[in-house]
Amino acid sequence: MSLPFEEVRLRLPHIELAAHLYGPADGQPVIALHGWLDNAASFARLAPRLPGLRIVALDFAGHGHSDHRPPGASYAIWDYVHDVLQVAEQFGWQRFSLLGHSMGAIVSVLLAGALPERVERLALIDGLIPYTGEADTAPQKLAEALKAQMALAGKRKPVYAEFERAVQARMRGTAAVSRDAAELLAQRGLMPVPGGYTWRTDSRLTLPSPLRLTQAHAMAFVHSLQCPVSLLLAEQGILVAQPHLAELLSGLPIDLTHLPGGHHLHLDDEAGAQLVADCFNPFLRSS
């Protein structure tokens, strides 16, 4: 039986990234971007339900099978934006749509706000802007980040004696997922080591950000969007729990849809994936 995707490696000028390709080569171009500590398997249920699209589901740098950034480098959110732009260049796409979940949605908004001429449509799942920080907290945040960075060398990744234990740990992660979703993410996210399995992800991904955009900075990107935007809010997700969400979204030209499910509603089960597909199929395929 043939797989619904093709596994590829993309050699960019500065890094090599892994990706899953879905759909016909002449389909409408879409780059799919997963959330923090997830991988391309995040779209394993959704992408096959979006026919007619050429979907490049990336492993972000430091995630899944993609390369880690070199020693001394960091994982600033805007560096992911640059990566995505380089992926579009590799495929020769001057205009393309972005399908983003969580952190992937944030990266999508930053890119579309900075270079609106490149992005056709934004399909966002439970994510919009990054966590923000105001000027008065900047010294404290930088201090926390520096201390965490200095302590990182003494930390070790967890090793799970059995694959099943890793799946259970992923189910209980910061954003809890279903067992099926955890298995899909773990199959791509784990690697064998002496004593069992550990995560492929770069340990630096868990470091706190040394600098955050202010609320005004973040919203400037949202206000710079020129393409149609569809934002799906999970009823048990992380966006609905944020204070002042209604005020933040008020007056924005964003099509909002509330759907049942958690933060990973597009991956947790088949029913959730179909609900998301039903929203995004007419949106992404409209001319």
Residues belonging to the active site: 102
**Cα 54 off chain centre by:** 18
Answer for the pair 221, 245: CB distance below 8 angstroms, yes or no: no
DSSP character string of 215-276: HHHHHHHHHT--S-EEEEEEEESSSTTSTTHHHHHTT---EEEEEEEETTHHHH-HHHHHHH
The secondary structure element, H or E, covering residue 284 is: helix 270-285
Burial class (CB in 10 A: 0-12, 13-18, 19+), 285: middle
**Encoded tokens for 75:** 């994982």
**CA 100/CA 33 separation, integer angstroms:** 5
By DSSP bridging, strand 190-193 and strand 196-199 are antiparallel
**CA 21/CA 5 separation, integer angstroms:** 5
**Computed over its alpha carbons, how large is the radius of gyration of the chain?**
18
Q: Which residues of 100-138 are buried (b: 16+ CB within 10 A; e: fewer)?
A: bbbbbbbbbbbbbbeeeebbbbbbbbbbbbbeebeeeee
**CA 105/CA 102 separation, integer angstroms:** 5
